[in-house]
Structure 1
Amino acid sequence: MGTAHSRCRVPGPGHVRNTVERSGLVRLSVVIPVLNEEETIGGCLESLAGLERPVDECIVVDNNCTDRTLEIVRSYADRLPVRVVTEPRPGVIWARERGFEEARGDLLGRIDADTRVDPEWSREVIEFMDAHPEIAGVSGPTYPYDVPLGDRLERSLRKRAADPRARRGRERPNLYGANMAVRKSAWQAARDLQVRATNVLEDVDLYLALKKKGFTAWYLPTMLAAQSYRRAKATPVSNLGYTMAGPRTYRLHGEYAMVVRLWLMIPMWLVTGWLIWAVLLPYDLETRTWGWRHIRNGLRGRVSPVH
């Protein structure tokens, strides 16, 4: 996975919009919003500390933590260039914006506290973005590390990533907040076009703002990361606000055709969500064991990131 991107196919003229100058030395900052993430932040930072190409900066945004999250973060100070900043306004949209404001890098990585990046992650991001200055943002695939049969999806994604053609990537009409990177210059140019409100999907909001400025985002199969499936175990009722945030985000950006498409898909999402929740209810994501004693934990909802 370490082959240089000199063999990548540069997108055609139809994809070149608002080209950003290529820098001779790319700096990568990674921003992680956190709210009571003591169970997952250690694994996230451990993966960042194990990167073959170290990140230049790791910014953890405290969004009103009351548990041991920040204590764990500070324990990595001797292994990562980690810095804690505070954003009191509740919601991942504000935490992400605060992190991007503080970041000093040319590229702004954005992952969740339960994301675990592959050792090659930073190198794949930097080399691809440096080779394609016309691309403003990039997202990669994620697979679950804490559910039954999750290893099958991992093997499938790794097989695709091993294909030399995977480094070409493809244009994608979205960005995925758990595994993405964007040029700081592009974010600054499009920032005022974001809705920047609660009850919206912050990654979709950012993508649509970039789109309005003429920027393009791509999907990179070699930008691999793992992610917890904990939100799927939260009650479907607690996830309802998150589901509804999708069409709301597109509506606020005037993307009405997409709003209709998403509304038509909501019944399928709700049914799927109930089925997955029912299957995972007696399963403990941390210990990866089955048992009826785990049902009590599965009945507790998590704080929605779009609140």
Structure 2
Amino acid sequence: MLKVSIIIPAWNEEERIEDCLTCATVQTRAPHEVIVVDNKSTDRTVEVVERFIADHPGTPVRLIHQDAEQGLIPTRNAGLNAATGDILGRVDADCMLKPDWVEVVTGIFTEDPKAMGASGPVVYYDMPLKKTGLRGDNRTRRLIYRADGNKTMLFGSNMALRATAWHAIAGEVCRDYEDVMHEDVDISLHLLGKHFKTVYSPRMIVGMSARRMASGFVSFKHYTDRFRNTFDAHPRHTRFFRPEYLLRVMWPFIHFLYPIYQRRMEREHVDCAAAVWRDEQQRILAGSSQLTH
């Protein structure tokens, strides 16, 4: 049985890290380990993680620190290098893994021994029409998130790769000191450069926040420019679709709707992140409780 490690880089994520850990541990198949990599947080992130570990002694959560430098890439790398699983999952600290995520990921890599990386769609838990949004994200992501013809690129908020694949590219991935690239696209292109197979699965689902769309357009455009910058840094690789164009078209609608929906949820006292998989989590917990009696 393949062992799945989940790596969660974290910087000042006290509001969401507990929900993220709950989703990572309340799974139909338990992960081998969940590694939170704190990157010099100045809020209560470390305290929240330590309390979660103390309150859930049976869960394989551990906390490590990456204090050498500030930044997502060295923090991500520290977590991937510290992991001991066969498959290395990587999600953001505000992401909520679907309760069958580990099971689905295990199946992907078990059924396809040649698969070296995998990714899937996301549902925006802090936006309305979640099912419709998930279907739309699935259709567009599997179509346009491609490189070198029709090869899958991995999405940083919902990705997994074999430990052997990571160790093959770990010394080559771009450090991006200027902070102008998409680190997940960079990983994808390094995998493809080794002729490693990457796959897309519509069942590999993660909930994530649409808060990026709440930023101003100039800031958001700079964020989407990272696609171009990353491919410019890898001239051997090609792409036909430009995800940044679609994101910029979507920005006005989501930018307008996002704060309205947040105010509504606040009035109704709904924590969207905590609620996104609650029913499924409760069924898992109820089943576990029955097995212990």
**TM-score strictly above 0.5:** yes
Map 1:65-76 to 2 at 5 A.
65-76=41-52
**1:194-232 CA distances to partner (integer Å, 9 max, x unpaired)?**
222132111111110011111010001111221111111
Equivalent residue in structure 2 for 1:85, among 53, 58, 64: 64
Write the letter of the residue equivalent to 1:86. H
| Structure 1: tracts of 5 or more residues without a match | 1-24, 161-170, 291-307
Equivalent residue in structure 2 for 1:43, among 19, 25, 28: 19
Would you say the 8 A contact 1:115–1:226 is kept in 2? yes
Change (3 A) 1:274 1:152: closer
Whole-Å separation in 1 of the counterparts to 2:263 and 2:36:
24
**Match of 1:182?**
161
**Match of 1:10?**
none
**1:87-115 CA distances to partner (integer Å, 9 max, x unpaired)?**
23222222111101111111101011111
**Match of 1:219?**
200
SS at structure 1 position matched to 2:115: coil
**Match of 1:249?**
230
Give the number of equivalent residue pairs: 252
Whole-Å separation in 2 of the counterparts to 1:285 and 1:85:
35
SS at structure 2 position matched to 1:83: strand
Is 1:228 the equivalent of 2:212?
Answer: no
Map 1:24-173 to 2 at 5 A.
25-77=1-53, 78-88=57-67, 89-154=69-134, 156=135, 172-173=151-152
Whole-Å separation in 2 of the counterparts to 1:87 and 1:41:
17
Is 1:277 the equivalent of 2:255?
Answer: yes
Cα distance, 1:27 vs. partner? Answer: 1.3
Change (3 A) 1:67 1:195: same
Change (3 A) 1:285 1:80: farther
Whole-Å separation in 2 of the counterparts to 1:247 and 1:142:
22
Would you say the 8 A contact 1:230–1:285 is kept in 2? no
Write the letter of the residue equivalent to 1:279. L
Would you say the 8 A contact 2:210–2:258 is kept in 1? no
Change (3 A) 1:257 1:180: closer
Two-structure CA RMSD over aligned residues (Å): 2.6
Whole-Å separation in 2 of the counterparts to 1:276 and 1:134:
38
Map 1:173-212 to 2 at 5 A.
173-197=152-176, 198-212=179-193
Whole-Å separation in 1 of the counterparts to 2:133 and 2:199:
21
TM-score, normalised to structure 1, is: 0.74
Cα distance, 1:123 vs. partner? Answer: 1.0
Write the letter of the residue equivalent to 1:52. T
Write the letter of the residue equivalent to 2:152. P
Would you say the 8 A contact 1:51–1:122 is kept in 2? yes
Would you say the 8 A contact 2:126–2:261 is kept in 1? no
SS at structure 1 position matched to 2:171: helix
Whole-Å separation in 2 of the counterparts to 1:286 and 1:97:
38
Would you say the 8 A contact 2:37–2:75 is kept in 1? yes
Whole-Å separation in 2 of the counterparts to 1:233 and 1:149:
18
Change (3 A) 1:195 1:285: farther
Would you say the 8 A contact 2:227–2:244 is kept in 1? no
Cα distance, 1:79 vs. partner? Answer: 4.5
| Structure 2: tracts of 5 or more residues without a match | 140-149, 269-293
**Match of 2:285?**
none
